[in-house]
Amino acid sequence: MISSPFKRGSMRAVGALATTLTMVAMAATAAGAAASAKEGAYYTPPTPYHNVGNFDPGCRNVDVKIHYDYEGVYSDKNVAGSHGQAFLHKDDFDFTETWKLKSSGEVLLTIGGSLVYEEISAKRVAKSDVPNRFIPKKGLVGPIYRFTASETGRQAVRDADGKVLVANYGKVVFKQLFDTMGDSKPGGRELSFRVAKVIGPHPNINPCQLSAQIAG
């Protein structure tokens, strides 16, 4: 899988993306979205966003900056029976990241694609069933939910001339254990995360390392 600064680890943690990044855009648009605590209803109805900016990925072996452009539609739906404590997040977006040398502005590579991240289901887990290794020092707040999510679509890494260096497509299914923190809004604390299934080619690529190789 391609590691991007905006979509690593938990999409819920970033979304709440905020991404994922997921994403700075979600935090910006969520403030203007209507909220509902009705069971099965939207907390955040389908909301378009467009976020453009610059980001330092903190690469250790090459000094680069990223210009990013994310555009899509996201939503958060109340999980039935959760009493407004758990939400299913969905984000359908297109994105482009342009990786440049800070010193000269030279383009080293671009990462772009179209993806749909969707939390498919959420099941409540008793605090007593959470393994000790996942419990933070400050303890659990609850309620705790186990989420199943998927990311579907395609993305590619290209060199400065537009040549595809590596690409992936298909679907990745994730399992996440999450402390919703009892605050009646999306977000919370991720307790565990794992990739449950990979469908289609998803080579592991580190853009920092690849940028360093291109930069020489």
Determine whether 73 is exposed, middle or buried from the number of CB atoms within 10 Å of its CB (0-12, 13-18, 19+): middle
**Closest to 192 (Cα-Cα) out of 129, 120, 102:** 129
Q: What is the mean pLDDT of residues 147-174?
A: 94
Read out DSSP for 168-192? Answer: EEEEEEEEEEEE-TTSSSS--EEEE
CA distances from 168 to 91, 112, 113, 115, 130 (A): 19, 11, 10, 11, 34
Average pLDDT, the chain: 84
Q: What is the pLDDT of residues 78-87, one digit of tens each?
A: 999 999 999 9
Residue matched to tokens 């590619």: 156
Alpha helices (H) along the chain = 11-15, 24-30, 207-215
Listed by start position, the domains of the chain span: 11-215
On the CB side of 145, CA atoms within 13 Å amount to: 28
Q: What is the mean pLDDT of residues 158-163?
A: 94
Burial 87-97, CB ≥16 within 10 A → b, else e: bbbbbbbebbb
More confident residue, 12 or 175: 175
121 and 134 in contact (C-beta within 8 Å)? no
Rounded CA-CA distance 36/48 in Å is: 18
On the CB side of 47, CA atoms within 13 Å amount to: 21
Q: What is the pLDDT of residues 91-133, one digit of tens each?
A: 999 999 999 999 999 999 999 999 999 999 999 999 999 999 9
**How confident is residue 204, by pLDDT bands cut at 50, 70 and 90?**
confident
